[in-house]
A and B are shown apart, each in its own frame.
Chain A
């Protein structure tokens, strides 16, 4: 074969490779929502640990990166497909925590993203509660307590989580005060708004949609518009909570 003919064939092959590659890459994008049955089971943790081998930390990191992709798809999708994206997002958070139960980013995304998607709050709170003994900070437990009280209206669970948070050194006083407020059911609306604002400030702007929506709901709530009643004195908030 002559040299020029080889060069022509090589050029043609490169054009074909480019054409095929562009089409395949397009098809690889997320267009189809994940399967309906994508629900986390404890037995899945075993397989993920086996697959992760000596690098469970890295696989947990990759699961968190996948959460960002899924969030992008989930927030722009409506209808039935939206729940599938969020179920897939929840699966990745379960996976990350099963592989590295001390990974703060996974907890942050659980309480900051998953918990504010309707239908997934219970899953998020349960996930944080299940890993309570791994946490070196009470921050996430306190948020889970808030979510149980404010979103799930489950006071018993909220108090249980606040007690767990009070056991951690960094949030003991805050958790105690919050638990006292829960028990006395005073100023619920304002406390909730202040708490949500505080959490939203520590979250990147692109991921605040869920918290902003919760804040907006509270602002429109007629109960929040009523004039504030002076709070009763709490003699010993910690004793109130622990008692």
Chain B
């Protein structure tokens, strides 16, 4: 257990002291304030526009974290065989993966909290500056929405751990992660379109089945509906909140379990 804690702490420290992480911290502090400038260009829905932009920046920050910080951390361990240092502690391979995963998720939290606090403060300023045009801006909604948007990225991290353990190197893992990320963006709107009778009639059943199968394989990264509801000052639908959280957390755990299975048989020599 001591080894696991030590590795979690080290992962946190390794990520937090990278210049890229500090850059993301600076971006998380600055962007919410800078977004007030383009928001002022709109006519009526200023609160909605600000929340749209804040969520878009949050997606960018989280994607950067996964691609440029979390992904190289594990890939480097596996490629350069640095994981041997920990596995000879002795630390089991499964414990090593869990510790790295938890360390990575914990490193995400300060960044997220900082961004959400700044976003909340910028939202308060917007409500003060444009009280008649920012009526849909509710701080609590924005904070809850911002926290919920992180869950798909935790699921994506789980997928990445599986990909990294099964791939032959960092480049291959990154290509598959990018593929999964793009599919996660594109599939939910395609499935929504397939519900329309006109589109369904024109689409081959094989293709529709393939898209549905892919939807099960990749995490639902879109969260588009949730973001739109929060931007319009509504609470996310309560009966969907629990399934949303359970789905993404279960996906992350599944990815990690599959990664453990593959990593247990991987030749590290």
Contacts and interface: CB of A to CB of B under 8 A. Distances in A.
Q: Do A and B come together as binding partners?
A: yes
Interface of A: 43, 46, 49-50, 52-58, 60-61, 64-65, 68, 100, 102-105, 108-109, 204
Interface residues of B, number: 29
B43 A53 contact: no
A54 B193 contact: no
Given A49-B193, A61-B52, A104-B44, A56 B228 contact: yes
B15 to A, nearest CB: 24
25 contacts: A43-B199, A49-B224, A50-B186, A50-B193, A52-B224, A53-B185, A53-B189, A53-B222, A54-B185, A54-B223, A54-B224, A55-B56, A56-B224, A57-B48, A57-B49, A57-B51, A58-B56, A61-B49, A61-B52, A68-B41, A100-B228, A102-B232, A104-B45, A105-B49, A108-B43
A105 B52 CA distance: 14
A50 B52 contact: no
Interface string B37-56: 01001111100110111011
A61 to B, nearest CB: 5
For A46, A56, A61, A68, the residue with the greatest tally of chain B CB atoms inside 10 Å of its CB is A61
Contacts of B45: 103-105
Contact of B189 (A50, A57, A61): A50
A55 B224 contact: yes
B193 A57 contact: no
A210 B194 CA distance: 40
B42 A61 contact: yes
Nearest to A50: B189
Given A55-B56, A55-B224, A61-B52, 18 more contacts: A46-B193, A46-B199, A53-B186, A53-B224, A54-B222, A55-B59, A56-B228, A57-B228, A58-B53, A60-B52, A61-B53, A64-B42, A100-B228, A103-B45, A103-B48, A104-B44, A105-B43, A108-B43
A115 to B, nearest CB: 15
Given A54-B59, A57-B231, A65 B41 contact: yes
B190 interface: yes
Contact of B221 (A43, A54, A103): A54
A87 to B, nearest CB: 22
A204 B43 CA distance: 8
